[in-house]
Amino acid sequence: MIVDCGVYAAGERQDLPKDPETVAQAIDERADSFGWIGLHEPSDAEMARVQRLFGLHDLAIEDALQLHQRPKVERFGDTLLVVLRTLWYVDEGDAVETGQVTAFVGPRYVVTVRHGEGGELATTRHHLEERASMLGHGPAAVLWAISDAIVDDYERVAEQVEIDVDEIESSVFSPERTSDAERIYRLKREVLEMRRAIDPLREPMEQFAHGVAGLGPKASPFFRDVADHLSRVSDQAEAIDTLLTSALNAHLARVSVQQNDDMRKISAWVAIAAVPTMLAGIYGMNFDNMPELRWHFGYYAILLLMAVVCVTMYRFFRKVGWL
């Protein structure tokens, strides 16, 4: 649906009807204005309506309608197509959910198409409208504000994932027996989803930071700040991935040590139990001529021998750490 439509001139929003046709007409009539049309999961008819008004390329429209596009920047004539992946964190399932924002940036208009629950742009629009000096930069200011908000969301998601990693590390190295392999693997998948959104965006932001035709040289410092934040969160995601790999290896090593410890305990008890079993087996055989078979104290002597040998073996295994 069409979420909002605005026309801006001299850093101020104009009081006009909120529809695409009004935006297109207003920017045609006033040379110092630009328009921003925001859409959320639009229908084909709504996209075709906007396409006709601003002459958007068919391939660009196709990219905007298809979810799970790779972050990228492409130019179609005088229109810049920017595809960004949005991220938000669901703590209940240790899940990183993804969406998409596609921005068409022309000389005097911006059209944003959003998919998914994350990356809402209403707050970004309101903050930008409160800064007339920024709006004076035109469509470049809108693209910067959107990019900055999305990268800030990346940082918040990374912080949430780091909290889960700390919990996993505490669990892996706790004295209690835990089963963390499944959670670690699940988090590694979510970090991979993060890196798919973050890493491809680094090169386009570096391009914007050094100046791109259509955005204006005055916008470069702002994009340098976004590129710096993006680089930082990319390194953060890589560090989280490395920590998870180390935690998984530590968990598997600990499970192996625990299994070896269990086998030693089982072996020790089996060895202790083998002594009375062996003696009972010998004296349970039905032979007539056996030593001590008719001795009065034979039964008690064998029981005492069993007890002495078992206690001796038990103390030995305790000493060497098997029990």
Residue 300's CATH number: 1.20.58.340
One domain, residues 98 and 185 = yes
Note the pLDDT tens digit of each residue in 290-308. Answer: 666 667 777 777 788 888 8
| Same domain membership, residue 147 and residue 65 | yes
CA gyration radius for the chain? Answer: 35
Residues 246 and 125 in one domain: yes
pLDDT tens digits for range 114-151: 988 776 788 888 888 888 778 878 888 888 899 999 99
HSE, CB side, 13 Å, CA atoms: give it for residue 105.
27
Do 182 and 58 fall into the same domain? yes
pLDDT tens for each residue of 33-43: 889 999 988 88
The separation between CA 165 and the C-alpha centre of its own chain, rounded to angstroms, equals 11
DSSP-derived 3-state class of residue 12: strand
Helices (H), 56-180: 58-65, 122-129, 132-135, 139-172
Of 254, 270, 299, the domain-final residue: 254
pTM of the model: 0.78
Check whether residue 285 and residue 304 sit in a common domain: yes
Query: What is the domain extent for residue 44?
Result: 2-254
- Number of domains the chain contains: 2
The 10s digit of each residue's pLDDT in 155-205 is: 999 999 988 888 888 888 877 777 778 888 888 888 998 999 899 988 888
Give the rounded percent of residues in the chain with a pLDDT score beyond 70: 94
